[in-house]
Chain A
Amino acid sequence: QKEVEQNSGPLSVPEGAIASLNCTYSDRVSQSFFWYRQYSGKSPELIMSIYSNGDKEDGRFTAQLNKASQYVSLLIRDSQPSDSATYLCAVTNSGNTGKLIFGQGTTLQVKP
């Protein structure tokens, strides 16, 4: 089982729709969770961090964490073509050891 799993996609949504990106992780004691956006040929850019169960909103982005289900998601409201990118889920491994593990990423395509 991979430590962090994401559906590779592509996930295609029309402009203005809500895009829902999902991630599961295997280490039950993980405490820190992150979403990164990576445009083709560029390095990853941090979008959101979440540490507690529930929702965290920042502009058009909402991160959702459910530690019991070992599940973290990212919702993008009012999707724009400029949101088209690969979205990477990252998790710190085994509590406080600090190893930061990434999923393989989900490619999002927002069609005008």
Chain B
Amino acid sequence: GAGVSQSPSNKVTEKGKDVELRCDPISGHTALYWYRQRLGQGLEFLIYFQGNSAPDKSGLPSDRFSAERTGESVSTLTIQRTQQEDSAVYLCASSLTTGYLGTEAFFGQGTRLTVV
């Protein structure tokens, strides 16, 4: 696609429910990143993928969070048993590669998650 696409744009869920957030990266981009941004705060790194593998999962806040990527394309971030503290904008970005050159990352429009 022309840009990074995230769905849904907005999600309101009840506390305790599971949610799935989807990211469709720019075609040909092998690196994919997930970040969380709480209101008025900076970008909190969650996880990144190089191809279908995740070299660094250190940012996932708890075992309620998981992510996968298939076909070096779409990624889903799953939050189980959502809590009110999970309310934030979840941002996905992709880049051509990781490493040195070609690492410019481009963001999707984000998914605003509200847990009530």
Contacts and interface: CB of A to CB of B under 8 A. Distances in A.
Interface residues of A, number: 24
Q: Chain A at the B interface: mostly helix, strand, loop or mixed?
A: mixed
A51 B99 CA distance: 11
B97 to A, nearest CB: 8
Interface residues of B, number: 27
A49 B43 CA distance: 18
Contacts of A99: 45, 48, 55-56
Interface in A13-56: 31-32, 34, 42-46, 49, 51
Interface stretch (A58-66, A76-84, A101-109): A101-109
B53 to A, nearest CB: 11
Interface of B: 31, 33, 35, 41-43, 45, 48, 50, 55-56, 91, 93, 95, 97-101, 103-110
